[in-house]
Structure 1
Amino acid sequence: MDGNDSHALLSGEQLIYAITVPLSTSIILANLVIILGIAWNRQLHNTPNYLFLSLLVADLCTGVALPFIPLMGLNRELSSGSCLVAHFFPNFLFLAFLFNLVMVHYERYICIVDPLRYSNLWMHRSFPLAMLAVWAPPLLYASLPAFGWNNWTGPDWSGCCASSQNATAPPGCLPNRTTCCSYRRVFPNAFIYLEVYGLVLPAILAIAGMTGRVLWITRGQLKDICRLHRSLERGGQASDREHRLNLRYVRCVVAVSMTFLACWVPQLIYMHVCIAFLISDTRWSSTTHIVLSCTGIGSMAVVPLVLGLANRQYTEPACTLLQKLRGRWCRGRRRGQSEEIVGNV
């Protein structure tokens, strides 16, 4: 690897850490707060919250792996085993997070759409089976490159990490037995297409469809409530209560829409840009790849935090602890001021 390539790799890693470390730290801390809130409140120890707890654990792991996901787009000098591990674990955690997110949305979707069948859901009758369904398929799929579905012996990797100091070294191979580690060597094109269009995109569309269906049902129930309210009051005009209900619904739709735009659109853009460059087989700027990958994965990891922080039951223990600490700090400050006044007197 010559000096220019080494400098480019170093600057790329510095940019990745500069973007992902603050975001990763925030995701980890927020998940820990919600996880402790669920563990602290025994009333929340039920199957729906256990499913959400599994999602939080997957999101926390995604936050830990967040700095390593953009690194998959850089060419690095790693051994074959280290290269597979460096690509396997981030991909597995990302897919596990996505599967958990679909499961949580599905459970809440059935609760609203078909409440009579909700208590008889298979995930309530067999919680270990539900955990197996959201963790085992991502593990199996992410492990396929380790079992031979890879492009490790591809012919187009010469010069990727070739040593400029040793002209006799084989292409893509260094004297210290390190190799050129790139996502193109670990993931074949068919693997990437199947993951994007067979797993990730259908999962995002399923979440969007379930969310839209819930909003549509909520709108119908709101109309029924307003109609019943008018019949009870025997009036033909909308009351202030109806206006407040409609305003609350509009706020809910706006909040959901903004959340989808902020959390899912960057990931969709990143996926399709990657596929476009993969089809054209052209090299693209590492800075562009880093920014898009960090933005896409990071914004998607915020979704469980939005769901968790919006529930007061999850955040109540943390709020209580902060209030106690604030009260002690205020009492200590007043006590110090009182002692200072007495000392001056």
Structure 2
Amino acid sequence: MGNSLAGNKFQELIFWLTRPLSVIIILANLFIILGIVFNRKLHGAINWFFLSLLFADLLAGAALPTVPQLAFENELGYHYCFFIYVAPNFLFLSFLGNLLVVHYAKYVCIIHPLHYHNSWVYRWAAFYILLAWTAPLIFACLPLIWNQWQPHLNCSFSLVFPMPYLYLETYGILIPSILAMAFMCIQVLCIARKQLKNIARLLHSVNRGQAPSALEQQLELRNAKGIAGVSLIFLVCWVPYIACLNISLLAIDYYYVNPHTLTIVTCLGNGSAAAVPIFLSLSNHQYIQFWRDMVCGGCCKGQKYWQKQAMPNAKMPHGNLCILEPNGIQGYPPNEDFKPSPAADESLELAIKFNTQI
């Protein structure tokens, strides 16, 4: 009687932790996917990568409620046993693979902006998307090769996934991929900071003895927001996920961990990782522009018209898919006393490009 009551409470805990989080992730991804699909300005290579990532994140969010239940043994057949364990693992691996491809595409775009159209990641976008799905599928199916299935044993996590496979997945794929994405983000921030210093030097040479211009202050503010955003995503999303991976391995191989504690850690870790694409999407106004136009209607269109009339014409690069915000910097007050040279204009464009990518 006591075991049955404890089991019901545990199932209730799993339900209240995973189902609301799963619903939020699914609805948020659907919201952003529709915003990209119905916005023709976003039909480019990088945005196709991001669209594939959102689909992978949606599927990972749908599989989230099944993850805590995998810690229990069940009497299942051979095929169904491997399916319920391999399928969630494949979905989370494909999510991480698509996220790595998105970071790599943006990294190449910013490191080599003039040669991006000739790079493989742009010319072979479909191949990279296919690779982000097939490579995780192949790796997730490896336990089917070296499994030691015995009919009299119950279906369990340790029966499907051997410990060498778990160590290889955790310390050979998952954590190195996260560190690689962190390295690429740091490189992008360093390049953006370098370009901001260059444009600030040009502004100071033109406006000697004057206070920093509004444009310079806005660029500094955007750079600070980029640094804060990357730091926040790593601390809030990736640190709990890395902790979840290590605690899960310790619980399987070395120590006994309370099932309630393991369930909470697993839900928070996987849920925080699945929230990364949502944070990245909401930081880009173009991904939700379709819904803003739907809600605002003519009111927002009239406001944009008067803003365009008030702002001077700016020379912006055309046809560069690296720029996720085609309108450039919006809302910057014009500086009537500033007349940049061609070199200053080019550096300004690069600074805008790097900052809109952060």
Conserved in 2, the CA contact under 8 Å of 1:263 and 1:299? yes
Judged with a 3 Å threshold, the aligned counterparts in structure 2 of structure 1 residues 9 and 241 are, in CA distance, closer, same or farther, namely same
Following superposition, the deviation at residue 5 of structure 1 comes to 5.2
CA offsets 1:247-299 (integer angstroms, 9 cap, x no match): 3322321222112111111001111112233342x332111111111101101
Aligned twin of 2:136: 138
Following superposition, the deviation at residue 34 of structure 1 comes to 0.9
Following superposition, the deviation at residue 239 of structure 1 comes to 5.0
Judged with a 3 Å threshold, the aligned counterparts in structure 2 of structure 1 residues 217 and 16 are, in CA distance, closer, same or farther, namely same
| Larger Rg belongs to | 1
Aligned twin of 1:189: 163
Following superposition, the deviation at residue 185 of structure 1 comes to 0.9
Matched ranges for 1:168-207 at <5 A: 173=152, 180-207=154-181
Number of positions where the alignment pairs a residue of Structure 1 with one of Structure 2: 299
CA offsets 1:164-217 (integer angstroms, 9 cap, x no match): xxxxxxxx95xxxxx522211110000100000111011100010000111111
1:84 maps to which of 82, 85, 88: 82
* CA distance, structure 2, for counterparts of residue 250 and residue 236 of structure 1: 23
* CA distance, structure 1, for counterparts of residue 224 and residue 15 of structure 2: 39
Range that drifts further, 270-279 or 315-324: 315-324
- The residue type paired with residue 113 of structure 2 is P
- The residue type paired with residue 321 of structure 1 is M
* CA distance, structure 1, for counterparts of residue 132 and residue 8 of structure 2: 36
* CA distance, structure 2, for counterparts of residue 245 and residue 38 of structure 1: 26
Aligned twin of 1:213: 187
Following superposition, the deviation at residue 237 of structure 1 comes to 6.5
Judged with a 3 Å threshold, the aligned counterparts in structure 2 of structure 1 residues 290 and 266 are, in CA distance, closer, same or farther, namely same
- The residue type paired with residue 220 of structure 1 is K
Aligned twin of 1:115: 113
- The residue type paired with residue 254 of structure 1 is A
- Structure 2, unmatched stretches of 5+, are 300-358
Range that drifts further, 205-214 or 311-320: 311-320
* CA distance, structure 2, for counterparts of residue 129 and residue 241 of structure 1: 40
Aligned twin of 2:338: none
Following superposition, the deviation at residue 44 of structure 1 comes to 1.5
Conserved in 2, the CA contact under 8 Å of 1:151 and 1:188? no
Aligned twin of 1:310: 283
Aligned twin of 1:247: 221
Following superposition, the deviation at residue 46 of structure 1 comes to 1.7
Aligned twin of 1:71: 69
CA offsets 1:298-341 (integer angstroms, 9 cap, x no match): 011111111112222221222333346x9xxxxxxxxxxxxxxx
Judged with a 3 Å threshold, the aligned counterparts in structure 2 of structure 1 residues 318 and 244 are, in CA distance, closer, same or farther, namely closer
* CA distance, structure 1, for counterparts of residue 91 and residue 11 of structure 2: 21
Following superposition, the deviation at residue 120 of structure 1 comes to 1.4
Conserved in 2, the CA contact under 8 Å of 1:151 and 1:184? no
SS in 2 for 1:284: coil
CA RMSD of aligned residues (A): 2.2
Judged with a 3 Å threshold, the aligned counterparts in structure 2 of structure 1 residues 9 and 211 are, in CA distance, closer, same or farther, namely same
Aligned twin of 1:276: 250
CA offsets 1:148-172 (integer angstroms, 9 cap, x no match): x23535xxxxxxxxxxxxxxxxxx9
- Structure 1, unmatched stretches of 5+, are 154-171, 174-178, 327-345
* CA distance, structure 1, for counterparts of residue 209 and residue 129 of structure 2: 52
Following superposition, the deviation at residue 58 of structure 1 comes to 0.2
- Percent identity, aligned pairs only, is 43
Conserved in 2, the CA contact under 8 Å of 1:112 and 1:214? yes
Aligned twin of 2:48: 50
* CA distance, structure 2, for counterparts of residue 222 and residue 78 of structure 1: 60
Given the alignment of the two structures, is residue 18 of structure 1 paired with residue 10 of structure 2, yes or no? no
Aligned twin of 1:28: 26
Aligned twin of 1:340: none
SS in 1 for 2:154: strand
* CA distance, structure 1, for counterparts of residue 155 and residue 10 of structure 2: 15
* CA distance, structure 1, for counterparts of residue 102 and residue 35 of structure 2: 18
* CA distance, structure 2, for counterparts of residue 244 and residue 313 of structure 1: 19
Conserved in 2, the CA contact under 8 Å of 1:73 and 1:183? yes
* CA distance, structure 2, for counterparts of residue 60 and residue 109 of structure 1: 24
2:293 maps to which of 303, 314, 320: 320
SS in 2 for 1:107: helix
Judged with a 3 Å threshold, the aligned counterparts in structure 2 of structure 1 residues 321 and 247 are, in CA distance, closer, same or farther, namely closer
Question: Could you state the TM-score of these two structures normalised by the residue count of structure 2?
Answer: 0.78
* CA distance, structure 2, for counterparts of residue 8 and residue 187 of structure 1: 27
* CA distance, structure 2, for counterparts of residue 12 and residue 121 of structure 1: 51
Aligned twin of 2:352: none
* CA distance, structure 2, for counterparts of residue 6 and residue 140 of structure 1: 39
Aligned twin of 2:330: none
